[in-house]
Structure 1
Amino acid sequence: MCRSLVLVLVLWGLSLGALPGCRRQQEPTAAAPGKTPLVFKYQPLGDPVAFRELLADFERKNPDVSLTTEALPNSSDVAHQFFLTALEGRADDFDVLVVDVVWVPEFARAGWIADLSAAFPPERMRAEFLPGPVEAVVVGGKTYAVPWYVDVGVLFYRKDLVPGAPRTFAQLQQYARDAMAKDGTLQGYVWQGRQYEGLNCNVFEAIWGHGGNVMNAQGRLELNTEPARAGLTYLRGLITSGISPPGVTSATEEEARRVFQAGRAVFMRNWPYAWEEAQKPDSPIRGKVEMVALPTASGEPGSGTLGGWQLAVNAHVSEPRRRAAERLIAHLTSPEANVMMALHYGRNPPRPAVYKNPELVRQKPDIARLLTLVEHARPRPVTPYYNMLSDVLQSEFSAAVAGLRSPEEVLKQVQRQVDYLAGSEPTQEQAK
């Protein structure tokens, strides 16, 4: 059976209960008299023992709630499509949902997720959480989700092959050339150049690294700029100069990681998960790797793309269930839960104070030292039409890094698409 048909059938099976003519109007699950039923939709984390205990602790502290968990596929695209179908159909058979960092503005504008500002005031969010995640979940001055765990783009380098961490793009290229000259089997720099969302992350980081800001003062996406041209030119130049192999244009995170971990590359852009992989007992590069901020044109520490997941509440559920959902989110995003998620699942905390937790520092020093990097993480454009625009960006950016079209041509086309979507965006009055 072809993959597209399988995906359609999976999505159909997941979302059948959420279609307007099929959705369940009753409470989501049977509960004992006097208890509020609560359904949590999330993607599996791995060994469920520690997470089950965290949920059991919530039930002990909230005896008036009957909690049910329902797992989703790990694929972000499949999860997004499920929620898109279910929430558009006003499904009310689940309460708490896990949302990608780029979905929050889209779901908030559509009225699909609840305003949580009363339980999680924006000012308190800014005081307790990292700035990047807060920027992603506070939309129009209101809190629509709470950060659960975060991710950030980082640079890995072989400390046995180069004199130190490159601070500038020029240093990275020179260090790579020197190492490649000594060992002709090495590749200089591997990153994510395939036509998918990971490429967007790499391009945004290159733009930021050249002093750009993809959002203008009016909150509109602006990409036809000199820093954007410089960023795309830099990425294409890595390939034409031979520092990055031609195959980087088909690489995702894992393709890049496998090359780097096999000891065949000097530098790699990836997410922090690759650190633990590099330190495994059978890893050829164990003890030979460092993880640092991305370089920039100026030499200032670069900003990695913000990744991660947030917890939101279905706007279509009843008031009692919404209040219970807020309590569950507060429990799952507490400092204690942040520590558990880091220790057992390697998930990076969204609260800066947690990085100084003694147990975390002792057991997971690699996560503890990420604080400076996650503090400087920047979200992708916080706009309700980002998911519609993402495919356009992927296609156009891919054409630029592959050399099919010039950065100038690509960015003009991208800006036309951006302006079209922005022009069709309703005003606040129309959206009410």
Structure 2
Amino acid sequence: MVDSSSHESDDDAARDGGVSRRKFVQAVGASGAAAGIAGCTGSDQPKNQGGGDQANDAGSTVGNVDNQGNKTTLQWATDPDFKGKTWNQELQPILYENGLSKDIEVEILAGPSVTDNRRAQYQQWLSAGRSKPDILYVDSGWTIPFIVRNQLMNLSQAGNFGQEFMSQLDNQYFEASVSTAKGPNGDLYAVPLFPDFPTMQYNKQYLKQAGYGQSDFDKWATDSMTWQKFSQVTKEAMNNNDVQYGYTFQGSAYEGLSCCDFNEFMSSWGGAYFGNPEKYLFGPVGDRPITVDEQQVVDSIKMIRTFIHGSNANNTLNNYQGQIAPPAVMQWTEEPSRKPFTNGGAIMHRNWPYAINISGAEDALGKDLGVMPIPYAKTEQEAKYPMTGGPVAALGGWHNAVNPNSNNTEAAVEVLKAMMSDDFKYKLFEVLGFLPPEPELLTSQRAKEVPIMGRYLEQLRIAGENAIPRPVTAVWPSQSSKIAQQVNGAMAKGGNPKQAMTQLKAQLEAIESSA
């Protein structure tokens, strides 16, 4: 399964060792426990690279929602893990049980697993005005550019979507997820299928050796800790254990750094790419402040440099414990950073829910896996901007949108509504590991009974409530690559955070002004 990010190239190291959700289920031996790789990763390609032939062979369907017993067959371009029995026997029947007419059936069109490839394919299809596929599985990291190009159907203007469902999205879903499915005018163009939020994962055994116990773990589950305390705890555990790494994360110069890891470091210090996120996160491009050179942003990089190079290196912070992260993090994406942790070679690890599922398996860390929200440097009250400070988590996840060229838009909307039922969302969590997009569902008994993931629902709920989207606009792909390059360079041994952020500000300004 791929993630929720918008990669600019197909050679990202994140794809090394990428596997599908179904393979995760098999790997941990717990049916229905796989949590998908989301956030900023990719995975192995399915045999049908893009499904072009499959889509061409599908003829136009006729009829509408009520077509006298004839089938209206919709095509859903989605992830390969939905194919076969998963959809036909486990998931589609739930839609019929929750109001979808049995005259409507949904065929799975398994497309590319790499998010960049999927985005490019949709761009090609929609630009050509193709009527198939009818429903599009869209990355929350690049939904807005399709919206501003008028390439997705406006659900707010769909006669059969209805105020009841609109209110459910606005009042019950994770707010950050819904924000990435709306246009500049506030209209809805997609429905969140599942969100993804990172957490800080840790090995309890190593921390017990450093004098920490269950009361600490219980406290951290809902109230993590400052980055300063985090560095202290990690260093103490390194000093009391024979372990290779203290803290592993994703620092490679790729989308995952700009959208996610650095976004969290910076936001947890109260910094932002474009000033107040409530006002400027999604634009207007060319008419918003660029604030990457502010002191709190520079300090967040100095903190990372301290973690990697120690406080005796240039451009570091004195009151943080150093050399808790290996220099290798500057080349690591999700999987290379996860493997040492799962294998017992690291104390702390930042990653998406899929990593909880792998590391929490009985043949890995089992119940010795601890999970807490992302640490922070400033509280929300201390932070300069709203939506920053505290345990900020980068937002990942996927939505469903309707192809405006479809001949069956009314039926497609009915499918999206049925997918908003609690039963369907729970079944997705149980079968494929998709997190429910509503905070309340993460507190239910049914969710708690899901193997492995059910142990960590409160941590995931808190992460979701503190999630911040990347600043997705039509120019974000160009900006993201510049951010990743400058931050990665500033993290290197000879890097200069202030200089790098001054250069980055100029680069972002140039992109904004030329848009």
Query: TM-score, structure 2 length as denominator?
Result: 0.73
Amino acid across the alignment from 1:154: T
Amino acid across the alignment from 1:400: A
1:384 corresponds to 2:474 = yes
Q: Secondary structure at the match of 1:281?
A: coil
1:90/1:400 CA distance change after superposition, 3 Å: farther
CA RMSD of aligned residues (A): 2.9
In structure 2, stretches of 5+ residues that fail to align are 1-9, 12-44, 281-287, 311-322, 381-389
Q: Secondary structure at the match of 2:474?
A: coil
1:144 corresponds to 2:213 = no
Report what 1:54 is aligned to. Answer: 91
1:324/1:287 CA distance change after superposition, 3 Å: same
Report what 2:244 is aligned to. Answer: 186
Report what 2:418 is aligned to. Answer: 331
Q: Structure 2 residue aligned with 1:226, among 282, 292, 295?
A: 295
In 1: Cα distance, 2:94 partner to 2:373 partner: 37
1:398 corresponds to 2:488 = yes
1:350 corresponds to 2:472 = no
1:407 corresponds to 2:497 = yes
Query: 8 Å contact 1:179–1:186 — kept in the other structure?
Result: no
1:25/1:400 CA distance change after superposition, 3 Å: same
Query: TM-score, structure 1 length as denominator?
Result: 0.86
Query: 8 Å contact 2:198–2:393 — kept in the other structure?
Result: yes
Q: Structure 1 residue aligned with 2:271, among 212, 215, 218?
A: 212
**1:344-373 deviation digits (Å, cap 9, x = unpaired):** 111111112212332222335235322222
Q: Structure 2 residue aligned with 1:258, among 327, 332, 339?
A: 339
- Using the TM superposition, give the Cα deviation of residue 29 of structure 1 relative to its aligned residue in structure 2, in angstroms: 5.1
- Using the TM superposition, give the Cα deviation of residue 182 of structure 1 relative to its aligned residue in structure 2, in angstroms: 2.2
Q: Secondary structure at the match of 1:189?
A: strand
Q: Structure 2 residue aligned with 1:278, among 332, 345, 359?
A: 359
Amino acid across the alignment from 1:421: I
Deviates more, 1:385-394 or 1:125-134: 385-394
1:384/1:366 CA distance change after superposition, 3 Å: farther
Amino acid across the alignment from 1:157: Y
Query: 8 Å contact 1:28–1:38 — kept in the other structure?
Result: no
Amino acid across the alignment from 1:54: L
Q: Secondary structure at the match of 1:161?
A: helix
Report what 2:23 is aligned to. Answer: none
Amino acid across the alignment from 2:432: Y
1:288/1:216 CA distance change after superposition, 3 Å: same
Q: Secondary structure at the match of 1:363?
A: coil
Query: 8 Å contact 2:48–2:110 — kept in the other structure?
Result: no
**1:109-146 deviation digits (Å, cap 9, x = unpaired):** 11111111142655542112111101211222111111
- Using the TM superposition, give the Cα deviation of residue 180 of structure 1 relative to its aligned residue in structure 2, in angstroms: 1.6
Query: 8 Å contact 2:145–2:472 — kept in the other structure?
Result: no
Q: How many residues align?
A: 412
1:109 corresponds to 2:148 = yes
Higher relative contact order (CA 8 A, sep 6+): 2
Query: 8 Å contact 1:11–1:78 — kept in the other structure?
Result: no
Q: Secondary structure at the match of 2:367?
A: coil
In structure 1, stretches of 5+ residues that fail to align are 426-432
**1:135-163 deviation digits (Å, cap 9, x = unpaired):** 21122211111110111111012223332
In 1: Cα distance, 2:103 partner to 2:466 partner: 41
- Using the TM superposition, give the Cα deviation of residue 298 of structure 1 relative to its aligned residue in structure 2, in angstroms: 3.0
1:330/1:215 CA distance change after superposition, 3 Å: farther
Q: Secondary structure at the match of 1:287?
A: helix
Deviates more, 1:24-33 or 1:251-260: 24-33
Report what 2:169 is aligned to. Answer: 125
- Using the TM superposition, give the Cα deviation of residue 380 of structure 1 relative to its aligned residue in structure 2, in angstroms: 1.0
Query: 8 Å contact 1:24–1:91 — kept in the other structure?
Result: no
Deviates more, 1:352-361 or 1:416-425: 416-425
Q: Structure 1 residue aligned with 2:261, among 180, 184, 202?
A: 202
- Using the TM superposition, give the Cα deviation of residue 75 of structure 1 relative to its aligned residue in structure 2, in angstroms: 1.3
Q: Secondary structure at the match of 1:269?
A: strand
1:313 corresponds to 2:402 = yes
In 2: Cα distance, 1:276 partner to 1:63 partner: 35
**1:183-222 deviation digits (Å, cap 9, x = unpaired):** 3533111000112222121100001110123333452454
In 2: Cα distance, 1:254 partner to 1:303 partner: 22
1:91 corresponds to 2:171 = no
1:416 corresponds to 2:492 = no
Among all aligned residue pairs of Structure 1 and Structure 2, give the percentage whose two residues are the same amino acid.
24
Q: Secondary structure at the match of 1:150?
A: strand
